[in-house]
């Protein structure tokens, strides 16, 4: 890497950190329970808006994995999410009415919280509809993974997003608070993903799955990115660039092996396609706060109007992480 390139990336990273620093004023703390965090705790960082219905299962899922504290930015919820989160003993809550889009889809706020509270911890940055799955997650708690990563000095762990969907129209079976969303949305695409390498930040760019197949078949470049690096042993100078798709310093993005071997990796089961989706899509288009003028939501609304079935006869029904590993969507690497 040339000096010029190094300086450019460094400048970019400093700018991201400065943005995060400026945006900290937009956050007002409603509940600061960060004093309860101990040195070895694994922390979850989340931005959300009006996700009350999903929160009970979300919190339970990560508590059972062994997460000890949640640091959440509430971006103007008015459905009771705020009150619900305030009542949780392991949640620290910040609230903002500021623009999600102008905070670079919330990542400025998260970068700030990560820097302030995540430094020195293993941090898991996920949305409320993302559920982290890693090798042996049914028999080993999450600190087994992070302890193992520590012995190998691995600082970032990849988990590709896997879009989960139900069989039949998405709004057919209503989701009730506390339910496991993957009881109904238990199907996924097993092997229709495309990968390319981003020459600038060295991350892999993965697209595909039901969203590419159903909503972006005629403009595949616009299909959403599925690559993510949600689990990071945070250090002070780190910064996510856009969502958790890529970060700086860019060495953290090379979570893949280029010599034929497999590094260890996981998946984020993405419970996007659960009811009520239509309402959510309508609201998000109205707000226009999502990436590129909420183009993703606009694409959904065009297709959702005709009640599509994402399911097809080749869809895989989710069983467990071992199935994902056999299908080649994630890998145990040399963890046995």
Candidates 128, 158, 166, 230; binder of other proteins (CB under 8 A) is 158
| Least Å from the CB of residue 314 to other proteins | 5
Residue with Cβ nearer other proteins (187 or 297): 187
- The answer to whether 146 contacts other proteins (rule: CB under 8 A) is no
Residues that bind other proteins (rule: CB under 8 A) add up to a total of 59
CA angle 108–60–41, rounded 5-degree value: 60
Question: Would you say 48 and 71 are in contact if contact means Cβ atoms under 8 Å apart?
Answer: no
- The answer to whether 295 contacts other proteins (rule: CB under 8 A) is no
- The answer to whether 136 contacts other proteins (rule: CB under 8 A) is yes
- Per DSSP, the three-state class of 321 is helix
Residue with Cβ nearer other proteins (52 or 331): 331
DSSP-assigned states of every residue in 74-97: EES--SSHHHHHHT-TTEEEEEE-
| Least Å from the CB of residue 4 to other proteins | 24
In this structure, the number of other CB atoms found within 10 A of the CB of residue 123 comes to 23
- The answer to whether 140 contacts other proteins (rule: CB under 8 A) is yes
Rounded Cα distance, 169 and 166, in Å: 7
| Least Å from the CB of residue 254 to other proteins | 10
54: closest CA among 334, 276, 316? 276
Residue with Cβ nearer other proteins (106 or 208): 208
Rounded Cα distance, 37 and 299, in Å: 41
Candidates 75, 82, 253, 331; binder of other proteins (CB under 8 A) is 331
Segment contacting other proteins (CB under 8 A): 67-75, 102-110, 168-176, 255-263?
A: 255-263
Rounded Cα distance, 228 and 129, in Å: 14
- The answer to whether 190 contacts other proteins (rule: CB under 8 A) is yes
- The answer to whether 220 contacts other proteins (rule: CB under 8 A) is yes
CA angle 64–244–143, rounded 5-degree value: 30
Question: Would you say 141 and 41 are in contact if contact means Cβ atoms under 8 Å apart?
Answer: no
- The answer to whether 232 contacts other proteins (rule: CB under 8 A) is no
- Per DSSP, the three-state class of 159 is strand
Question: Would you say 123 and 45 are in contact if contact means Cβ atoms under 8 Å apart?
Answer: yes
Candidates 61, 105, 148, 182; binder of other proteins (CB under 8 A) is 148
- The answer to whether 258 contacts other proteins (rule: CB under 8 A) is yes
Residue with Cβ nearer other proteins (173 or 327): 327
| Least Å from the CB of residue 250 to other proteins | 15
Q: Quick one: angle between helices 291-304 and 277-287, nearest 10? A: 140
Residue with Cβ nearer other proteins (35 or 260): 260
- The answer to whether 41 contacts other proteins (rule: CB under 8 A) is no
Query: Which DSSP symbol is given to 208?
Result: E
Question: Would you say 107 and 83 are in contact if contact means Cβ atoms under 8 Å apart?
Answer: no
Give strand pairing partners of 278: none
Segment contacting other proteins (CB under 8 A): 41-49, 106-114, 132-140, 291-299?
A: 132-140
Point out which residues bind other proteins (CB under 8 A). Answer: 136, 139-141, 143-144, 147-148, 151-152, 158-160, 189-197, 204, 206, 208-210, 212-213, 217-221, 227, 255-265, 312-315, 328-336
């Amino acid at each position: 890497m040339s000096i010029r390139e190094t300086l450019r990336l460094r400048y970019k990273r400093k700018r991201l950190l400065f943005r995060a620093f400026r945006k900290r004023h937009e956050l007002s703390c409603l509940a600061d329970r960060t004093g309860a965090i101990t040195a070895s705790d694994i922390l979850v960082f989340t931005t959300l808006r009006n996700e009350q219905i999903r929160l009970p299962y979300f919190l339970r899922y990560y508590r059972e994995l062994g997460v000890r504290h949640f640091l959440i930015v509430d971006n103007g919820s008015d459905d009771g999410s705020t009150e619900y989160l305030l009542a949780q003993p392991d949640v620290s809550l910040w609230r903002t009415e500021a623009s999600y889009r102008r905070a670079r889809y919330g990542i400025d706020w998260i970068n700030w919280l990560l820097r302030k509270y995540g430094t020195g911890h293993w941090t898991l940055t996920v949305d409320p509809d993302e559920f982290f799955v890693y090798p042996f997650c049914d028999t080993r708690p999450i600190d087994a993974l992070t302890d193992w990563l520590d012995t190998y000095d691995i600082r970032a762990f990849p988990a590709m997003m896997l879009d989960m969907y139900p069989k039949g129209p998405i709004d057919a079976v209503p989701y009730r608070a506390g339910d496991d969303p993957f009881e109904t949305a238990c199907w996924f695409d097993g092997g229709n993903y495309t990968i390319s390498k981003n020459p600038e930040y060295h991350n892999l760019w993965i697209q595909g799955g039901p969203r590419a197949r159903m909503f972006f078949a005629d403009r595949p470049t616009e299909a959403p990115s599925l690559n993510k690096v949600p689990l990071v042993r945070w250090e002070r100078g780190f910064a996510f660039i856009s969502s958790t798709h890529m970060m700086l310093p860019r060495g953290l993005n090379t979570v893949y092996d280029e010599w034929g071997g497999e590094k260890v990796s996981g998946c984020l089961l993405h419970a996007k396609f659960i009811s009520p989706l239509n309402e959510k899509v309508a609201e998000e288009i109205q707000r226009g706060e999502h990436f590129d003028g909420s183009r993703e939501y606009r694409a959904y609304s065009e297709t959702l109007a005709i009640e599509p079935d994402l399911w097809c006869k080749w869809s895989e029904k989710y069983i467990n992480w071992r199935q994902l590993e056999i299908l080649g969507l994630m890998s145990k690497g040399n963890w046995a």
